[in-house]
Amino acid sequence: MEADIVTDDRGEPLSVMEPLVIGDAYACRAALTDLALDLTQKSAGLRRSLPPALLASLADIVRAMNCYYSNLIEGHYTHPVDIERAIKNDYSQDARQRDLQLEAKAHIAVQRWIDGGALKGGLAIKAEGIREIHRRFCELLPEDLLWVEDPATKGKLRLAPGELRGRDVQVGNHVAISPGAIPRFMERFEQVYGNIGKTESIISTAAIHHRLLWIHPFMDGNGRVARLISHAMMLDLLDTGAVWSVARGLARNVQEHKRLLANCDQPRRNDLDGRGALSEEALVEFTRFFLTVCIDQVNFMESLIQPDRLRARILLWVEEEIRLGRLPLKSGSILEAVLYRGELPRGDADTVVGTGERQARRVVSALLSKEVLVSDSSRAPLRLAFPAALASRWMPGLFPEKLG
């Protein structure tokens, strides 16, 4: 049964959310700027190193990775192979597992929408953009995942996609602002973060992440929305190509992540701790952590897709498949050509194989059936794909080595 809705505004002053940005006079400010510049350079280098067609293929597996780790932070485990099956409408017979597959599919659909540029130009930090992320995600959830328990009354509340919460909440020791105050605080949030420069925006991604969770605009789903906003901001500010994401780093450091977030809820500690109501020192610490995690994820992806190393891992897998009779000879030649060119026109396959058109068709057909090649149509160029089932071989470390 759904509990009564409370919509009062207790008149909390906007100053209780300050500081929203880290002051220029703060001792560690220069170090944070250096981290932002380092992230910008590394991300741009990774982006430039990839052919456009390979970029698109990598973005697909990164969406699955981001979904897996973001759900893991929420305590929802969905195997990457099950996520991939859900995208193909292949669902488990187990009701709970099916629900988690649908949840993962919803997350990927929203991120694909973001990756297509839907939140460019700063829309990710506007109230309408934030509510649209929540709406799109929740509208795709199964009914059972739309009901949450009110911790105070123990009554059941049904999430209304995209609608701001209508009652009080407490997360850990943090008592969120009254529901009626949310629009005022969201307006202040948008006003501040929508009027800062690019470098300041990169530095403030961590603050945006925390302050949105501090406002807690929705009854549930705030963590996922915040991580998707972080992804959208980096995509927009750094033109990442969607080939890396912070979610993996946050999940792999989840206890530190949660500890630093909780610290940011704390009031100013002393006269040296900024001039706002909340601890600026804690915000600096979380910002340093967040930017460092982003840099680590760029470095990780760069190490995974170094051409020679990626080529070696793929060709080793191909050799084993050929030896076991699961792929025809010359399969490696096609994959190698696609890897270096980014995509391969079908008419070039026989030249690459060098043994005639019939053998080329056989090789391409086998690789398509293995789902390591994809194509938009029967005449469109061939592109490399990264199936979740092969992630541990082709992209070691992308997901945990032991799953399930």
Q: What is the DSSP string of 177-195?
A: PPGGGHHHHHHHHHHHHTT
Q: What is the pLDDT of residue 404?
A: 45
- The secondary structure of residue 16, as a DSSP letter, is G
Kindly report, as residue ranges, where domains of CATH 1.10.3290.10 are found in the chain.
14-31+45-304
Which DSSP helix (H) or strand (E) runs through 382? strand 382-384
pTM above 0.85, yes or no: yes
3-state secondary structure of 305: coil
Give tens-digit pLDDT for 70-95: 999 999 999 999 999 999 999 999 99
Cα distances (Å, whole numbers) of residue 47 to 43, 108, 120, 185, 303: 6, 21, 18, 36, 13
Virtual torsion, Cα 210, 279, 250, 165, nearest 10 deg? -30
CA distance 267 to 278: 4
10-residue mean pLDDT series, the chain (404 residues):
62 96 84 97 93 87 94 92 94 96 97 96 96 98 90 83 93 93 97 96 98 97 97 96 94 96 95 89 97 97 90 96 96 94 92 90 96 93 94 91 52
Question: CB–CB of 386/379 below 8 Å?
Answer: no
CATH 1.10.260.40 at 307-392, yes or no: no
Which has the closest alpha carbon to 44: 232, 259, 295, 363? 295
Q: What topology is assigned to 14-31+45-304 in CATH?
A: Fic-like fold (1.10.3290)
Position 248 scores a pLDDT of 95
- How far apart are the C-alpha atoms of 70 and 30, rounded to whole Å? 31
**What confidence tens digit (pLDDT) does each residue in 325-377 have?**
999 999 999 999 999 888 999 999 999 998 888 999 999 999 999 999 999 99
Residue 5's pLDDT is: 60
Residues of the chain with CATH 1.10.10.10: 307-392
